[in-house]
Structure 1
Amino acid sequence: MLKLLGALLIIGTTTWAGFEASSHFTRRPKQVRIIKDSLQALDAEIMYSHTPLREAAKKISLQMPEPAARLYDLFSSKLSRTDVTVKSAWKDSLDEIWNTTDMKDEEYEILIQFGESLGRHDRYTQQKQILLTLTHLDREETEAREKQKKYEKIMKSVGILSGMLFIILLF
């Protein structure tokens, strides 16, 4: 009876680990999509509403789900200080939330490059920068979806099968 309970515990734990590992592949494309949507909202605020950057960031933080909501909330807060540049406020905000996301270094680099130009140009040039960033993020989203299709089921199966292998080796 104790062996059966131990075996079930092992299979349950390894299955949970496999499902947890596969969830990263599910969340990454969703988070990239949310960031893309937030950049489109920023574009609309800048181009059509003529909203100042700090106010636009605050509005976007109230409209978007995580992780964009937290990113734009921090960005707006940092912009309200007078001793900070737009570039450093963007980078600091990105750095603060990055460890809580499932996005990769490629997305980080794209967003950092976007922050380099943020607030430095007129509205039309800024719109071009947003569109360029969206193009790069489209590519990353496509790659993330391909990896999701390729590895999500594998990770779940590895979790279950490694538990079974472990039980066979133990008993």
Structure 2
Amino acid sequence: MLKLLGSLIVLAASLMYGWKINEELKEHVEQLIGMKEMFLMLRGEIAYARTPLREAFLQMASQGKEPFSDFLKRAAKELEENEESIGEFWGRLVEEEAGKFYFTREEQGLLKRAGENFGYLDVQMQLKNLELYMEQAEVFIQRAQKELKDRQKVARTLSLMCGLFLVILLI
């Protein structure tokens, strides 16, 4: 009876781990979409409202989703308080907040590169760069969505198989 109970607990734990991985994979796609939305909102703030960066970050943070909302609030605060260039503090901020994002290095690099051009270029060049970053984010989104189902299936299968293997090993 005790072995059966232990086996069920091991199987339940392995299935919960597989479920957690599935949720993280979905969150990855949602965060990529959030990054593209952030670029889109920033483009609108620069192109139409001509809002200063600090105010644009705060306004976007109030409308945005996590983890970008906190990220943009910190960026606005750093923009006001910090003496280093926008690109330097943005890159540092991306590194510090990396644990909140489910981004690959390549995707994180895109977010880093986006901040390097804030405030240095004229409005038209900033808009062109934001268009480029949105296109790159769209490529990442399409790739992640394409791989999502397969990765979720692999995660479910592996978690179940690992749980069964542990049960067999322990019995």
State the TM-score bracket (shorter-chain normalisation). Answer: over 0.9
In 2, the alpha carbon distance for the partners of 1:81 and 1:163 equals 51
Deviation at 1:60, TM superposition (A): 0.6
**1:5-63 deviations in Å (ceiling 9; x for gaps):** 10111101111111122222111110010011011101111111110001100111111
In 1, the alpha carbon distance for the partners of 2:166 and 2:99 equals 32
**What's the TM-score, normalizing by structure 2?**
0.94
Q: How many residues align?
A: 171
Residue 78 of structure 1 contacts residue 84 of structure 1 at CA under 8 Å; is this kept in 2? no
Tell me the secondary structure at the aligned position of residue 42 of structure 1. helix
Paired residue type of 2:83: D
In 1, the alpha carbon distance for the partners of 2:97 and 2:62 equals 16
CA 1:98/1:82 → structure 2, altered by over 3 Å: closer, same or farther? closer
Which residues of 2 match residues 55-134 of structure 1 at below 5 A? 55-134=55-134
State the Cα RMSD in Å: 1.3
Identity %: 25
In 2, the alpha carbon distance for the partners of 1:41 and 1:116 equals 18
In 2, the alpha carbon distance for the partners of 1:92 and 1:57 equals 17
Which residues of 2 match residues 26-41 of structure 1 at below 5 A? 26-41=26-41
Residue 32 of structure 1 contacts residue 141 of structure 1 at CA under 8 Å; is this kept in 2? yes
Residue 39 of structure 1 contacts residue 134 of structure 1 at CA under 8 Å; is this kept in 2? yes
Other-structure match for 2:42: 42
For structure 1, list consecutive stretches of 5 or more residues without a partner in the other structure. none
Other-structure match for 2:147: 147
Paired residue type of 1:43: R
Deviation at 1:82, TM superposition (A): 4.8
Other-structure match for 2:52: 52
Deviation at 1:118, TM superposition (A): 1.4
Other-structure match for 1:12: 12
For structure 2, list consecutive stretches of 5 or more residues without a partner in the other structure. none
Deviation at 1:168, TM superposition (A): 2.2
CA 1:159/1:82 → structure 2, altered by over 3 Å: closer, same or farther? closer
Farther off after superposition, 132-141 or 15-24: 15-24
In 2, the alpha carbon distance for the partners of 1:84 and 1:166 equals 53
